[in-house]
Amino acid sequence: MNMKKWLAATLMCSALVLSGCGGQSQNGGQQKADKVYRVATNAEFAPFESLDAQNNVEGFDVDLMNAMAAAGNFKVEYKHQPWDSLFAALGNSDVDILASAITITDERKQTMSFTDPYYKITQVILVPQGKNIKNVDDLKKANKVGVITGQTGDFVISKMLGKDSAKIARFDTLPLVIKEMESGGLDAVVTDSAVVGNYLKHNPNKGFTVVEAPDFTEENYGFAVRKNDEETLKMLNDSLKKVRESGEYEKIESKYFAK
């Protein structure tokens, strides 16, 4: 797909800062509070990140990062940009943090560092009405399987069918791959379980079904920083721990993933 049509928009969203009084100038506290950390995301993967009607970034990752910023006394601003530009932006120091439902993998760890996991998911198969796909093996007999380029679903289907298989249809965003399936162009879509759950929650009458795939292993999302940026990594991990311990994490999780 041609990514040139996507215009990256810098979206400012400063998190609530819980500032202390006096004495911070004698340590790194005030310097950290004054710095604005640039957070890049591809806001096309609801409920983790998306754009609201005013083109502001919203979603689980955003709320969690904002809560972490409040707990850790630092500020953030968000930049929405194409998925395939995120990792280069981090490597080039154009941004400081990636918050975009990024799966922690050994390959990615070679070029960036990840926080402690903040969400666990697996891959599932979304099947439109009338398609006879009951398990992972049935995907081998499908005419077209849709995936999002560069995401885990792409990797697992490429491994199964071959990276250059004509049966794989790759799309830049979740809305595009869903639209193609709705029009009858795909036999199935393989993507993250939480994303599929969110789609079905808001589109209950589409006639789609979810096929669980025990063959697909669980995976963890993490926030990414530049390789060896230990200061930012520690700040994020400490803040994430505080958010979990305070109970705020559960409140944010229930907002987006109510059972």
pLDDT value of residue 27? 54
Q: Given 211, 231, 248, which residue is the final one in a domain?
A: 211
Residue 178's nearest CA partner among 141, 148, 140, 205 is 148
pLDDT value of residue 96? 99
Residues 104 and 14 in one domain: yes
Looking at the predicted structure, is the pLDDT value of residue 174 above 90? no
For residues 57-70, give the mean pLDDT.
99
Structure-model confidence comparison of residues 11 and 152, the more confident one: 152
Please report, rounded to a whole number, the percentage of residues in the chain having pLDDT higher than 90.
73
Structure-model confidence comparison of residues 152 and 10, the more confident one: 152
pLDDT value of residue 201? 87
Looking at the predicted structure, is the pLDDT value of residue 151 above 90? no
Residues 40 and 116 in one domain: yes
Residues 14 and 112 in one domain: yes
pLDDT value of residue 157? 95
90-138 confidence digits (pLDDT tens) = 999 999 999 999 999 999 999 999 999 999 999 999 999 889 999 999 9
Pick the range with the lowest mean pLDDT from 72-86, 125-139, 206-220. 206-220
Mean pLDDT of the chain: 88
Residues 135 and 88 in one domain: no
Range of the domain at 206: 123-211
CATH number of the CATH domain containing 36: 3.40.190.10
Pick the range with the lowest mean pLDDT from 159-173, 182-196, 207-221. 207-221
For residues 212-231, give the mean pLDDT.
92
| Whole-number Å distance between alpha carbons of 91 and 23 | 34
Structure-model confidence comparison of residues 7 and 259, the more confident one: 259
Whether 216 maps to a domain, the answer reads no
Residues 12 and 103 in one domain: yes
Is the overall model pTM greater than 0.75, yes or no? Answer: yes
For residues 235-247, give the mean pLDDT.
99
pLDDT value of residue 173? 87
Residues 18 and 68 in one domain: yes
pLDDT value of residue 28? 54
